[in-house]
Amino acid sequence: MAATQTAYGVVSLGDRLAEAEDDRGYVRLREDLDIGAFGASGIYQRKAGEPIIREHHEAGPGGDRHEELFVVVQGSATFTVDGEEVEAPQGTAIFVRDPGVMRGAVATADDTMIVAAGGPRDHAYRLTPAASAHGFWDAYRAKDYGAALEATKRGLESYPGNAYLLYNVACMESLLGNDEAALTALADSVSQWELYKDQAREDDDFVSLRDDPRFIELVG
């Protein structure tokens, strides 16, 4: 059911799960309900034993140092937060205060759903660099690399010089055969966030550049 366009909004998570075609996916509550004060989404996993919350932290260049709240609204999960496992049956709320702490979760029941909400403590909510490139992942999965590149460039209008966005610019330019542009963007990205060197070495988006001495030097 779509969100109602009134003074309030309503989304049925159960309906969205029933309609979903993939084993794991999102209900984009922030977008669907036009939430401006914080980020929010529903995440579902149909299969027990599979990841529902990908391991991540909120202190990298794609984020905005969000605190995160996770609520298990259906099913159950095992969270790993800062190396510690936390069993989370239906009705459990887990709050991760430190943006730099790694967190993730595996579903322990079929058709598990978690609602996640987040925002920064020290300033007003804004779209993260990753979210500012709206449409990037849909275009990427459709192999429309030109549209994905445009999405990253829109993000750079809000976050000039951001390492996450520049990394994805480099990926798309590489896939489009624009080697010089790819190398320039990658150089700017890894100069800010060295961990992208490790990622780039294994990233199939750069397969056409693997033997280029300039690429080897950048990620070495």
- Both structure tokens of 83: 């190396």
Are 219 and 201 in contact by the 8 Å Cβ rule? The answer is yes
Residues 2-27: pLDDT tens digits? 555 678 999 999 999 889 889 999 99
Residues 160-215: pLDDT tens digits? 999 999 999 999 999 999 999 999 999 999 999 999 999 999 999 999 999 999 99
Average of per-residue pLDDT values in the chain: 95
CA distance linking residue 22 with residue 3, whole number of Å = 21
3-state secondary structure of 80: strand
Domains annotated for the chain, with CATH where assigned, are 13-119 (2.60.120.10), 129-219 (1.25.40)
What does the radius of gyration of the chain's CA atoms come to, in whole angstroms? 19
Residues 52-65: pLDDT tens digits? 999 999 999 999 99
Residue-level pLDDT at 117: 98
Q: What is the pTM of this model?
A: 0.85
